[in-house]
Amino acid sequence: MAADARDAVSGFLAGLHPAPPPHTTQNLVLLASELVTNALRHAGGVTVLRLRADRRSLEVAVADPSPAYPQDRTPDLTGRTGGFGWPMVQRLARTVAVRSVPDGGKVVSATLSR
């Protein structure tokens, strides 16, 4: 599923004119991959992947069925339990937002400057 998200972002970005700079493209692909991976690992799956662009920004949003908000935790240096993705999302994105949705799940969105 994370590979599908990366492919979706790459296809979305390929249709933008003007194209974002390479580092912005790489960061949006990474953000989408991390948000999808986190939803799969910690929140019961992905219900929606949404991509938006305007003249100033790019946004990726991932909806999942869990009402629990992402939590900071100590990264596991052995690689077994992770803990690196959420801090990376927070560092890469210009803004990160989490909002509850009426069905009991949530949407996590990350925005980059274009």
For residue 29, the model assigns a pLDDT of: 97
For residue 76, the model assigns a pLDDT of: 66
Intervals of the chain under pLDDT 50:
none
Cβ-defined contacts of 36-42 (< 8 Å, 24+): 36/1, 36/2, 36/5, 36/62, 37/2, 37/85, 38/62, 38/70, 38/85, 38/86, 38/89, 38/108, 39/63, 39/64, 39/108, 40/1, 40/2, 41/82, 42/66, 42/68, 42/70
